[in-house]
Amino acid sequence: MTVEKISQLFLAFEKANLCNLRNLRNLRIILQTMSSPHILVVCTANICRSPVGEALLKARFQAENLADWTVSSAGTQAMTGFAASLFSRQLMAEQGLDIASHKSQPVTKSLLQQANLVVCMEMRHVKSLKSTFPAHKNRLFTLKQMVGKRGSVRDPYGGTRRDYERMVATVDRLIEQGFLRIKQLAEDNFQGSYLR
């Protein structure tokens, strides 16, 4: 988005007397998602797998000097405002990644509209979202599809620390191996969204 277009947006907000703090925050979020690709990571409750995927993917983008990319997470059956699970928080902290401030959120139409790519932990998440939000079906994939595989990342909810360690190792490996495909799909969808 050009500086001229951003200036026009702010002038339109000012003319319409919409320059309150809440609207300006919302405008900032919209502009951020328009200026760089956005990836949404999805699991069931948004407390175990997807916060880990979000943190690991953000770290990878930062390592690649792509810190302007947006990565967020949500759940197909998530309730709003829950912290990431204890083991997920601990294991991310051991890797130097802080997800203590994470709050769960459900997948919404708005989140899907912002996302250039939606990476799900299970095929049932993909199917559920395709059914509920068919307009976004071409942006929905499983994390395993990013490496040309089928299947799901097992949900460790209610399990032992070892179960969580296996999940983190799996998500980390899949992001490492599938990073170029993740990046390419998000870029392709990002560029395509502004050509329409």
pLDDT at residue 24 in the model: 64
60 flagged as catalytic: no
- Tokens 């699991």 belong to 43
As a whole-number percent, the residues of the chain with pLDDT over 70 amount to 81
Whether 173 is catalytic is no
| Dihedral-angle region of residue 50 (phi above 0 means left; psi in -120 to 50 means alpha; beta otherwise) | alpha
86 and 60 assigned to the same domain: yes
Are residue 14 and residue 105 in the same domain, yes or no? no
CATH number at 43 reads 3.40.50.2300
Catalytic residue from among 28, 120, 155, 196: 155
What domain count does the chain have? 2
Question: Are residues 22 and 41 located together in one domain of the fold?
Answer: no
14 is in which domain, residue-wise? 1-35
- Nearest by Cα to 47 from 100, 108, 118: 100
24 plus 70 within the same structural domain:
no
CA 17 – CA 146 distance, rounded (Å) = 45
Of 19, 28, 43, 188, the active-site residue reads 43
Reference 141, options 101, 176, 174; nearest CA is: 174
Q: Are residues 122 and 186 in the same domain?
A: yes
Q: Is 49 a catalytic residue?
A: yes
Residue 133's SS3 state is: coil
pLDDT digits (tens, 9 = 90+) for 55-75: 999 999 999 999 999 999 999
Tell me, yes or no, whether 120 and 147 share the same domain. Answer: yes
Alpha-carbon distance 149 to 145, whole Å? Answer: 5
Catalytic residue among 22, 28, 49, 60: 49
* Tens digit of each residue's pLDDT (9 = 90 or more) over 23-63: 666 666 566 556 789 999 999 999 999 999 999 999 999 99
Strand ranges, E, within the chain? 38-43, 70-75, 117-120, 140-142
Cβ(142)–Cβ(126) below 8 Å: yes
Do 130 and 66 lie in a common domain?
Answer: yes
What Rg value do the Cα atoms of the chain yield, rounded?
A: 17
